[in-house]
Structure 1
Amino acid sequence: MQPNQQLPHDLQAEMSVLGALLMNEQLLYSDVVPLEPDDFFDQRFKEIYSAILKLNENNKPIDTTTVVDQLQEDQKLQFVEPKLLIDIMDATPTLRNYPDYVAIVKEHSTRRTLIDTAEMIIENSKNASVELEDVLTDAESSVMRVSQATSKNDFRRMDTILPELYQHAEEINKTKGEVTGIPSGYRAIDSMTSGFGRNDLIILAARPSMGKTAFALNIAEHVGSSDQNYNVAVFSLEMGAEQLVSRMIASKGNIDASKLRAGGFDRDDWAKFQMAIRELSRSRIFIDDTPGIRINEIRSKCVRLKQQEKHLDMIIIDYLQLIQGSSTRRSENRQQEVSEISRMLKGLAREIGAPVIALSQLSRGVESRQDKRPMMSDLRESGSIEQDADIVSFLYRDDYYNRGEGEESDVSQLDTSEVELLIAKHRNGPTGTAKLIFNKKYSKFLDQENFDREI
């Protein structure tokens, strides 16, 4: 089928690219944005370029004879007459302008892709069965993909990288022993991590009721507090925004969380409640409680938030296994889908320049062991999670499993618990255990050394 001749294209530029490659195959390694077969408008030129790429992949010479042989092997000669290759070479003005020919072909291809994208957006916008949020997210993602396709990641010379590392070394040595990344708010953790790196993917995993949501919210409270000047995005796929904020109020004000649910405030509680609201209202925490959100929606919302607020400094997701893949259709292989999600979360951390803390479930296998401290193999639907993550950490409470005779059978009745944060993987630092205290009544985690002073 012939392409629409009204779409942007330049057949002379396409012929010049192919002619230059037929005369000098080394041009394939030029410092230009690489072309794909679909960047060519003319179907015949797509087939010729595909043949050239196959020859190059197989370390075969590239000339008119070998290209014809490859086309014959691919059963494409019915589309391309051998004489066309000679005509293409004759129509090529000069090899020197090869980068310019490539740029022209790429620009027209990008414009055609944008037209296709615009038509897709129009069709989706007309379709009332497609949610508006999906239309906006797909539109944004499609345009972003087009933009990324026009850029190239070049090698960087050592002399361009070393000055940045030298400056970083000077900065961290001026602040020796201090936190150089985004602080968690917990001395025991920051002493091991020096703060969370801005490109890091951090996995925080635990069995249900260990307190991982409360812990993540405590970190958000600290990082997003008004005196820090950090912006924090929280994606809650399990609880609504009101529930999360209620937990934050309990933690911030040292208020019994059950009173926030059932009432029964005394005068002291009201004073704490009002103080907590005042402090949280000045915080830089942004909550999205869309259930079943797709990974590309998370990315789009983070990009928009960063543009809107000028900077985004931490992203918290509760929790990873509830995120949907980028496809609107549910994947039959959930492990592959979770692997895609973890890769995209790592990419998100690098793109935004903010640590991503993703909460994760653990498999029930941990319950069958005598020592119930979690291990890497306990990560549920792990896929590539442990490979993608810079830090993998587990929350463990011994009292959750090991209660002596005569103690309450319901561990939730105990006001406080000793907690271990097990850092099982740390790409850029040590592994080990940070000791914390969890006050369940207030949904609040503390460093052990601060427990008596703050509660």
Structure 2
Amino acid sequence: MEPGEPSAALTKTRREENRPKGRSDRSSDRSGDRSGDRSGRARDWQQLSRLFEQLPPHAIEAEMSLLGSMLIDPQVVGDVILLINRGDDFYKPANGAIFDVMVELYDRNGGLDIVQLNQVLADRDCLDSVGGLGYLVELAHAVPSAANALHYARLVREKARIRCLIEAAGDILHDAYNSPEDAQEILEEAEQRIFRIAQESDRGGAEALADLLRQTMEMIEANEGKMITGVPTGFAELDNMTHGFQRGEMIILAARPSMGKTAFALNIAELTALQKCGVAVFSLEMSRQQLVQRLLSARSGVNSQKLRRSMLNADDYHRLHVACDELMDASIFIDDTPGLSLLQMRAKARRLVAQHEIQAIIIDYLQLMSSGRRAESRQVEISEISRGVKAMARELNVPVVCLSQLNRAAEQREGHRPRMSDLRESGSIEQDADVVMMLHREEYYHQGDPDWAPNHPEKVGLAELIIAKQRNGPTGVVKLTWVSEITRFKDYSGAMAPAGFAEPAPGYGGSFHPGARSGPVTGFRDGGGPEQGEVGSGAGMPPI
């Protein structure tokens, strides 16, 4: 072998290195990758375990400096408690106990000193447990002045928030390990825990009247000339009376079964969404397919029974295609999850508002919701749900239209007109609601009487929306026309659209003119519809 020539063994090794990998080689590589992934994941879990073994973030020096500042100058206590209002925010239990007593003394007589503090702690047999008089003296000498008291308070609060996040993360891990079969519930609980921490830190305080006056005047000037200051419903007389559904309000739409609650709520959703306002619909009673069929029937003018049975002609299909094109622009999101709890609905609604800029929420209906916890009675549970829905409206700053059942009392009453006291299962609903609307159709109670319609032609197809409560506006009755064949409510004849309301899209209810036939496509812009004798005749799919 010549000098410098590679040996046979080396040449063989190089050939093997350059040879294309076979199946066994690739399999070996993949096995190595998998083992590497497993070892990497194992290291991650080990690091996670070590994280929870560490001491949580804290700032003992800041805690001592804050307490010392409060002893030096009790006047800073009033500012401090706006940032920290409980001793639990302190990492060292002794500091938290001392803080609570200091706040109590300040609240009692507007001042505090080391002598009073020492005496109260001694009287409660907890002086020794917090470190004795010597520790109180140490606190008093921890800082030269109280100038930085708020800085110390912010630092203590931030560390407390981080500890709360760590605690929430630990709870989430615990739930995930112990209930791995229910991921969705764990996700919703996790979201709620994190949101509570964020909400706790974003508590609003009092605002000066001067600032509030400026904000109010700006709002008044911005709404100048507008009849609708909230979210438009698409019904002229209703918008005239309410100026639209206002943000943060809970609106109750109540009626007996088959009066048309769902139909009216869907009409509002459709007309509102076509005004470029996103709407979320939580349907606990009907499926999303059933709701979409109703939307198509109401929008196209195709008889709901024909649509349900697919007994359609060419003109019906043309109307449906046009209605589909129009509804494609409607920002409506439908969730038909049955038996939603209040916690689940708030989590879903919060996500929809954040992702799709939802401006109104419709819930169908209140009595089908659950509080998610055991209640001593159904009345107590409904009260809890009602308060939760109101809190959701305030939190998300959108109007929430909540459908509700009425009890049978109205059916025994002469004239069958409903009252707020007829709200089923809870008196707290009317207290929590900002607006209570009740739907009434006298015609419904006389469907089996052939003489009633000829003797009361003015009530055929008439629906009354009774505004029984409006916290910031008038009460009264809004007249509507009910077209049963297409499960649609329309503005009653003579109702004028309010100033500032955009021209309604085809399909908008508008004013109703008895006897006017529908146009070639939808026919609702000019108030078209079935013949007068057909309106409200009871034909078609019954309302919910």
TM-score by length of 2: 0.75
2:418 pairs with 374, 377, 401, which one?
A: 374
**Whole-Å Cα distance in 1 between the matches of residues 128 and 412 of structure 2?**
65
Report SS of the residue matched to 1:340. helix
Cross-structure match for 1:46: 96
**Whole-Å Cα distance in 2 between the matches of residues 188 and 418 of structure 1?**
14
Deviates more, 1:96-105 or 1:258-267: 258-267
**Whole-Å Cα distance in 2 between the matches of residues 4 and 37 of structure 1?**
24
State whether structure 2 residue 379 is matched by structure 1 residue 330: no
Cross-structure match for 1:412: none
2:322 pairs with 271, 275, 297, which one?
A: 275
Cross-structure match for 1:169: 220
Q: Work out whether residues 336 and 383 of structure 1, in 8 Å CA contact, stay in contact via their aligned partners in 2.
A: no
State whether structure 2 residue 272 is matched by structure 1 residue 223: yes
Deviates more, 1:155-164 or 1:101-110: 155-164
How many residue pairs align between the two structures?
A: 441
Q: CA deviation at 1:275?
A: 2.2
Q: CA deviation at 1:305?
A: 2.0
Q: Work out whether residues 407 and 422 of structure 2, in 8 Å CA contact, stay in contact via their aligned partners in 1.
A: yes
C-alpha distance after superposition, 1:303-327 (max 9, x if no partner): 3223222x221111111222222xx
**Whole-Å Cα distance in 2 between the matches of residues 353 and 123 of structure 1?**
33
Written as runs of structure 1 = structure 2, the 5 A alignment for 1:317-396 is 317-325=363-371, 328-396=372-440
Q: Work out whether residues 47 and 71 of structure 1, in 8 Å CA contact, stay in contact via their aligned partners in 2.
A: no
**Whole-Å Cα distance in 2 between the matches of residues 34 and 339 of structure 1?**
32
Q: CA deviation at 1:347?
A: 3.1
Instruction: Specify every segment of 5 or more residues in structure 1 that has no aligned partner in the other structure, as ranges.
Output: 410-414
Cross-structure match for 1:261: 308
**Whole-Å Cα distance in 2 between the matches of residues 209 and 407 of structure 1?**
22
Deviates more, 1:253-262 or 1:182-191: 253-262
State whether structure 2 residue 340 is matched by structure 1 residue 293: yes
1:139 pairs with 190, 204, 219, which one?
A: 190
Written as runs of structure 1 = structure 2, the 5 A alignment for 1:191-270 is 191-225=240-274, 228-270=275-317
Q: 1:374 to 1:67 in 2, by over 3 A?
A: farther
1:113 pairs with 149, 164, 174, which one?
A: 164
C-alpha distance after superposition, 1:283-334 (max 9, x if no partner): 110011111222233222223223222x221111111222222xx4332244
**Whole-Å Cα distance in 1 between the matches of residues 112 and 53 of structure 2?**
31
Cross-structure match for 2:238: 189
Report SS of the residue matched to 2:224. helix
**Whole-Å Cα distance in 1 between the matches of residues 107 and 379 of structure 2?**
32
What is the one-letter code of the residue matched to 1:299?
A: R
Q: CA deviation at 1:96?
A: 1.0
C-alpha distance after superposition, 1:142-200 (max 9, x if no partner): 1111112222412222332223322332343333xx32322111112111112111222
What is the one-letter code of the residue matched to 1:98?
A: A
Report SS of the residue matched to 1:91. coil
Instruction: Specify every segment of 5 or more residues in structure 2 that has no aligned partner in the other structure, as ranges.
Output: 1-51, 454-458, 494-510, 514-526, 530-544
Cross-structure match for 2:528: 454
Q: 1:416 to 1:286 in 2, by over 3 A?
A: farther
Deviates more, 1:207-216 or 1:146-155: 146-155
Q: 1:259 to 1:149 in 2, by over 3 A?
A: same
Q: Work out whether residues 338 and 383 of structure 1, in 8 Å CA contact, stay in contact via their aligned partners in 2.
A: no
Q: CA deviation at 1:369?
A: 2.6
Q: 1:280 to 1:127 in 2, by over 3 A?
A: farther
Cross-structure match for 1:86: 137
**Whole-Å Cα distance in 1 between the matches of residues 421 and 55 of structure 2?**
56
Q: Work out whether residues 446 and 452 of structure 2, in 8 Å CA contact, stay in contact via their aligned partners in 1.
A: no
What is the one-letter code of the residue matched to 2:407?
A: S
Report SS of the residue matched to 1:425. strand
Determine which structure has more spread, i.e. the larger CA radius of gyration.
2
Report SS of the residue matched to 1:235. strand
Q: 1:39 to 1:291 in 2, by over 3 A?
A: same
> Over aligned residues, Cα RMSD in angstroms?
2.6
**Whole-Å Cα distance in 2 between the matches of residues 74 and 109 of structure 1?**
26
TM-score by length of 1: 0.89
Q: Work out whether residues 33 and 151 of structure 1, in 8 Å CA contact, stay in contact via their aligned partners in 2.
A: no
Report SS of the residue matched to 1:137. helix
